[in-house]
Amino acid sequence: MADSSVQLPDGIEACLFDLDGVLTETAKVHAKAWKQMFDAYLRERAEREGEELVEFDAGEDYNDYVDGKPRYDGVRSFLQSRGIELPEGSADDPPGKETVCGLGNRKNKLVLEILRSDGVEAYPGSVRFVEAARDAGLRRAVVSSSANCQEVLKAAGIEGLFERRIDGVVAEREQLKGKPAPDTYLAGAKALGVEAAAAAVFEDALSGVESGRAGEFGCVVGVNRLDGEHRAALSEHGATIVVDDLAELLPS
């Protein structure tokens, strides 16, 4: 094992953590915002086109099409699943514009509103694990598709636990492909000065464990916050270890 205080394979020198659903309970915030945004849009479209309204499923649709992906990729992926094509638009589209970027910006506005009204909490088991990894001398970075990553870390009171942050802002600036491509995790390893084989990826999203597998990381830890079916899917998509809480990787 990497160290007696954290149960990871030998040779692991760094930990790369997804944010939403791994470190903080913001996955619920994102699922809520996606559902509010898509349901409002689908309702508008159904009324305009005379179609049947089929609402966004905050469980299945969220996991299959948007979880872990950059915002606009998530919009595009879900719309494709419904056979809906919209103009791409641009990043400065107003939230009310009927474009991929407009809908994505509407979703982001809702996320910020929910964060301000409800706040955000870090998972206690994850905080304990990150503290143990720090004390064991392991390098630590957050790798998230969220452009609000820094704000969420601050709100949860855990920003100081990490040495580097690769988030949606960095990905856009550096033109890094989003998950399931391995680019952002590879950038996280590079920022910490370690090879992919010496880093462990921690992910709750299927697209995220796929990116860990694609990058040939030394370990891909799937974090199951849902059910037995998702636990199995995490393994199928590339997780080498699956836990329900990161505290399971600490000595009992």
Residue spans per domain, the chain = 14-25+121-249, 28-118
Residue 209: Cβ within 10 Å count? 30
What are the tokens at 94?
Answer: 């107003």
- Among residues 118, 117, 108, the alpha carbon closest in space to that of 30 is found at 108
pLDDT score of 189: 98
How far is residue 220 from each of residues 13, 28, 48, 77, 167, measured CA to CA in Å? Answer: 13, 23, 45, 24, 19
| In contact, 162 and 141? CB cutoff 8 Å | yes
| Cα-Cα-Cα-Cα dihedral sign, residues 22, 24, 28, 32 | negative
Q: Is the pLDDT of residue 40 over 90?
A: yes
**CATH code 1.10.150 for 28-118:** yes
Identified catalytic residue from 3, 18, 61, 183: 18
39 catalytically annotated: no
Identified catalytic residue from 3, 10, 20, 92: 20
pLDDT digits (tens, 9 = 90+) for 197-249: 999 999 999 999 999 999 999 999 999 988 888 899 999 999 999 999 999 99
Q: How far apart are the C-alpha atoms of 24 and 159, rounded to whole Å?
A: 11
Look at the pTM and tell me if it is higher than 0.85. no
Q: Is the pLDDT of residue 1 over 50?
A: no
**CATH code 3.40.50.1000 for 14-25+121-249:** yes
What are the tokens at 205?
Answer: 């999203």
How does the average pLDDT of the chain come out, rounded?
93
Residue 190: Cβ within 10 Å count? 15
What are the tokens at 98?
Answer: 């009927």
20 catalytically annotated: yes
pLDDT digits (tens, 9 = 90+) for 41-95: 999 999 999 989 999 998 899 988 998 788 899 999 999 999 999 999 999 999 9
